[in-house]
Amino acid sequence: MTWDGDSYQARFDERAASGADVHGEADLVAALRPLSVLDVGCGTGRVARELAERGVHVVGVDADASMIATARRLGPALEWQVADMCGLALDRVFDVVLMAGNVPLFTAPGTEAALVAACAGHVALGGSLVCGFQLGGAYDLAAYDEHCRLADLELSRRWSTWDRQPFPGTGGYAVSVHRRTVRGG
């Protein structure tokens, strides 16, 4: 799928201008008190920029060059990378690895386990993988939880929204926090 980063960002700019809170993901991640975050599938960097404003060191990665071009324009001081998220290998770990905005649903079918493994490989001991996605599609929570388990991550919390409404909710969405309690091999 090809995106237009500027058009995508304009949708969030319009929502913010109308008074909508567009920082639910950043609020949840900030509550975990990370010093560093890897924003996988960062898009135009909306969440990464907000976390950086809050003093968090953030690296943003997306497979779409247009999204990263917009992110670089809007956040030139941050580190942005165009990369295949299923094969991501940055040779460093982060307190939180974030997949906001249905990232697993935008990867090629059958690559979800590789995506989770690649993300998990960047989670520091004691850190978390935070992921939110729409339910009811081909990739479900049972498969996601199993992929996390295989990557040595344990389910810590789950909500139905980024503003931490109880799970299950009525909207068919899940936000999961899986923690690294052992260092995988």
Tell me the mean pLDDT in the region 46-66.
96
Give residue 106's pLDDT: 87
Q: Where are the alpha helices (DSSP H) in 94-136?
A: 103-106, 112-120
Give residue 180's pLDDT: 96
The two counts, helices (H) then strands (E), for the chain are 7, 7
Reply yes or no on whether the pLDDT at 5 is more than 80: no
pLDDT in tens, 159-185: 999 999 999 988 899 999 999 988 654
pTM of structure: 0.88
The CA-CA-CA angle for residues 91, 93, 96, to 5°, reads 145
Q: Is residue 24 very low, low, confident or very high in pLDDT (cuts 50, 70, 90)? A: confident
Tell me the mean pLDDT in the region 52-57.
97
Domains, the chain, with CATH or none: 5-180 (3.40.50.150)
Instruction: Give the whole-angstrom CA distance, residue 111 versus residue 128.
Output: 21
Tell me the mean pLDDT in the region 106-111.
91
pLDDT in tens, 126-166: 999 999 999 998 899 999 999 999 999 999 999 999 999 99
Question: Within 13 Å of residue 169, how many CA atoms lie on the same side as its CB?
Answer: 16
Give residue 1's pLDDT: 56
Give residue 50's pLDDT: 96
Reply yes or no on whether the pLDDT at 21 is more than 70: no
